[in-house]
Amino acid sequence: MGEERRLKLGITCYPTYGGSGVVATELGLELAQRGHEVHFISYAQPIRLNRPAPNIHYHEVEVSRYPLFEYPPYDLALATRMAEVSEIYDLDLLHVHYAIPHSVSALLARQMLAWGPKHRRLPFVTTLHGTDITLVGQDPSYLPVTRFSIEQSDGVTAISNYLRERTCREFGIANNIQVIYNFVNCELYCREKEKDLTHHRAEYAPKGERILVHVSNFRPVKRVTDVIEIFDRVRKKIPSKLLLMGDGPERSPAERLAVQKGIHHDVIFLGKQEQIGEKLAIADVLLLPSQLESFGLAALEAMASEVVPVATRVGGIPEVIEHGSTGFLAEVGDVDSMAKYAIEILGDEARLRAMGRACRKWAADHFSANSIIPQYEAFYRRVLERSS
């Protein structure tokens, strides 16, 4: 870490299956590996906080239940724990992922500490991820408080230019927003070594079929039934299997559609997976037909693994995938075009492998942890300098 002082950072995120929690956890792990002290503060241990790591601490937020509370106030319990942990461990800064309600809790924690006996200043950084702005944040019952907590943040980052522009436009934000893209650890996400590849692929594709994958939290925005529609068209032309990782409300409609089409033997629902990288390592194509995606972390992790993404031309996806050279893009709901692209690339082994390698190079050149994490470190230092 050179001459720079080691930072003590608090990170709050949703600990469940979802991109913002994944980014926050991977960020914490990367920062800890670089020597910083990282304290996760949340109601449960984040799912990817599963590899042993020095410099990592986890503080659970207990939410007391009381018969009067129809809705136990998690945001208040979180604010209290944030202030407490920051004081005990002398944190330099809090970094919250997903504005609602984390940013509001951080704002309260900052005020509590400033008012306390030490009049301590605790800056906080908010990272906007997607539906906190594009969906949930638009709800009139959340919009004013979300806007307020973004404006009050000591630093704000967004994960794509698309999200930054949309936040400024729709929330009328005056606070400067810096774009820091999602990142991938290219050592963890890579294609399986040739000697093990055939053997591992045979577990899902025993007759040498092609392997398509989908990774998401199966929310309506992911359009999982489009994944089935696309696969149905591909399978008619090319022997293939579909692996779906994740779970959520759209899983059963997708399962029913696969049965209705009579393709369920080739559609494998793996549920929530801890080791997504292992499955991406043996796949050929990723299907991401989302209604909206501020970045598309799943596409990036696939690209690092030499898996070609076929996705929708929405939100921040065009900042991640270059149509025709590092994947394919089509309009939302255009399952025919997405199937056509998948068939085209899966039918040409040499082109598939060449595009897979181009995807990995693109991911490594633009979005590797080694280039993005220093951007966060520099951002924290600027915020600290401004707040001192």
Interface stretch with ligand GMT, choices 60-68, 245-253, 291-299, 372-380 (CB under 6 A): 291-299
Decide whether 28 or 296 has the Cβ nearer to ligand GMT: 296
For the bound state, the minimum distance from the C-beta of residue 305 to ligand GMT, rounded and expressed in Å, comes to 16
Cα–chain-centroid distance for residue 336? 27
Single out the segment in contact with ligand GMT by CB under 6 A; choices: 1-9, 19-27, 60-68, 229-237.
19-27
| Residue 294 engages ligand GMT in binding (rule: CB under 6 A) | yes
Minimal distance, residue 103 CB to ligand GMT, in Å: 14
With tokens 């009381």, the residue in question is 66
Show the binding pattern over residues 174-193: x = contacts ligand GMT (CB under 6 A), - = does not.
--------x-----------
User: Rounded to whole angstroms, how far apart are CA atoms 383 and 388?
Assistant: 9
Query: Is residue 297 a contact point for ligand GMT (CB under 6 A)?
Result: yes
Q: Kindly identify the residues of this chain, within the stretch 108-147, that bind ligand GMT according to CB under 6 A.
A: 129-131
Of residues 197 through 216, those in contact with ligand GMT by CB under 6 A are: none
In angstroms, rounded to a whole number, what is the distance separating the alpha carbons of residues 255 and 272? 15
Closest CA to 242 of 310, 173, 318: 310
Residue 29 in tokens = 């792990």
The 219-258 contact track toward ligand GMT, x by CB under 6 A, reads: --x-------------------------------------
Contact pick of 9, 10, 12, 18 for ligand GMT (by CB under 6 A) = 18
CA distances from 224 to 28, 180, 221, 260, 333 (A): 30, 28, 8, 15, 11
Inter-residue contact 212 to 286 (CB < 8 Å): yes
Residue 19 interacts with ligand GMT (CB under 6 A)?
yes
Interaction between residue 46 and ligand GMT (CB under 6 A): no
Task: Report the residue number, 131 or 153, with the smaller CB distance to ligand GMT.
Answer: 131
Q: From the list 10, 11, 12, 20, which residue makes contact with ligand GMT (rule: CB under 6 A)?
A: 20
Kindly state the smallest distance separating residue 299's Cβ from ligand GMT, in Å: 8
Please give the DSSP secondary-structure letter assigned to residue 263. Answer: -
234 and 337 Cβ atoms separated by less than 8 Å: no
Separation between Cα atoms, residue 378 and residue 188, nearest integer Å: 24
- Chain center to CA of 302: 13
Chain-centroid distance, C-alpha 250: 19
Contact 143, 372 (CB under 8 A): no
- Which residues make up the interface to ligand GMT (CB under 6 A)? 14, 18-21, 23, 129-131, 159, 182, 217, 221, 292-297
